[in-house]
Amino acid sequence: MIDLEVPKKLQPLLAQARGMAEEVFRPISRKYDRAEHSYPIELDLVSAVIDGLSESGTGQGAGARTGTKVEGEVAAVGSGRSAKDKAGKAGDAKATRNGTNLASVLSILETSRGDVGLTLSIPRQGLGNAAIAAVATEEQKARYGNRWAAMAITEPEVGSDSGAIRTTAVKDGDEYVLNGEKIFVTAGERAELVVVWATLDRSLGKQAIKSFVVERSNPGLKLVRLEHKLGIRASDTAAFVLDNCRVPAEDLLGDPEIRTSAGFGGAMQTFDNTRPLVAAMALGLTRACLDTTRELLAAEGVEIDWDAPAHTQPYAAARLIAMEAEYEAAYLLTLRAAWMADNGQPNSMQASMAKAKAGRTCVNVALECVELCGATGYGESELLEKWARDSKILDIFEGTQQIQLLVVARRLLGLSSRELR
């Protein structure tokens, strides 16, 4: 039965996440925007709350995390595993499932309404955990279970074209030796593990790319610097050099064989899971902008009338209606992508649609809210200017706007990456 409301059973969880956003994240948001690179100690407290939620089995993804007791598998920012085995056959209404993916998307939306940078800094909720959830074997999942994992894909010369990475992995006995350079590693300094993408054989292209779990304490993994950024300053962004970094062979995630027929599969599947989550971050930020702007404008006597035609309302009210509409569009695309994953439906295109729409919407809305609020929007007394700075990354990481459109267009048109470049 068609219904696009937030499921009732998730309400308690979301109320918790909202509480965290309002009581913890929002009050310290500006503090860690200014104190870039200092660790938000308040988050240790928060992660205890999240862990507690998971243990109690009530949560399906507080802040982002899925209760391991409930699903029996690790699930963090990228908790989304397709639930083919759990859901019934597609189209069977009775089997419709609202699971981990939907819970994660909605709870990340709430925490990101508090602060995106802090959401990215919640211990043990890293994007690396998403990679582990997506491609690790059961044994590996159990082994890395409760540890915080960052994700290292990008290199100085390789951004969106992640099939062209240059970091190499060479088998040496029962170890792999990794060499290369990784940048833009979110939570790279703070995490306990770093999931590193490296190629077993550059001549074999994408199929030879594997992900390796590297202990942060590994002496071959050297932190070079932390970036100074436009926004999300509460989140550390690290650069590493891998210098003859030796990793036990069992820390190669998933299948160690190079399967030329299997496509980019493994590693890239991570994105089907993480893109809706980044879209959810963008939604949370957009929501924050709209809520604050509507409050500020209401004090000036401008409020939305949902029934009156927009052209009979003040310009600012008409703009708010338009922005709320774009938010709704992005929100529903994101929920759809998560719902499909929960119900075992392939969602690669829909995940990219969500990310594309949410990414551009959050930037457009954040910038326009600054415009509508004028000096109050642009100044530091409110958080609108910060959100505008934060927003830009959400249309970039986990695949830029343009990469999402490529994914969508290739799927729609049935074109290969060689045909549509």
Q: Which residues bind other proteins (CB under 8 A)?
A: 1-9, 91, 93, 96, 98, 102, 304, 306-312, 321-322, 324-326, 328-330, 332-333, 335-336, 339, 350, 353, 356-357, 402, 405-406, 408-410, 412-415, 419-421
**Least distance in Å: CB of 410 to other proteins?**
8
**Least distance in Å: CB of 100 to other proteins?**
13
**Nearest to other proteins of 35, 409 (CB atom):** 409
3-state SS class at 224: strand
Return all residues near 189 (Cβ < 8 A) that are at least 6 apart: 223, 226, 236, 238
**Least distance in Å: CB of 384 to other proteins?**
22
202 and 192 Cβ atoms separated by less than 8 Å: no
**Nearest to other proteins of 102, 151 (CB atom):** 102
**Nearest to other proteins of 105, 151 (CB atom):** 105
DSSP 148-191: -EEEE--BTTBSS-GGG---EEEEETTEEEEEEEEEEEETTTT-
Q: Whole-angstrom Cα distance, residue 35 to residue 23?
A: 19
Q: 42 an active-site residue?
A: no
Chain-centroid distance, C-alpha 48: 21
User: Strand 168-172 to strand 149-152: parallel, antiparallel, or no bridges (unpaired)?
Assistant: unpaired
171 and 249 Cβ atoms separated by less than 8 Å: yes
Strand partners of residue 241: 181, 222
Q: Where are the beta strands (DSSP E) in 45-157?
A: 149-152
Q: Which of 257, 371, 398, 419 is catalytic?
A: 398
- C-beta neighbour count of 88 within 10 angstroms: 13
**Least distance in Å: CB of 405 to other proteins?**
5
**Nearest to other proteins of 28, 354 (CB atom):** 354
369 and 376 Cβ atoms separated by less than 8 Å: no
**Least distance in Å: CB of 328 to other proteins?**
4
Cα angle 47-51-55, degrees, rounded to a multiple of 5:
170
**Nearest to other proteins of 98, 235 (CB atom):** 98
Catalytic residue positions, numbered: 398
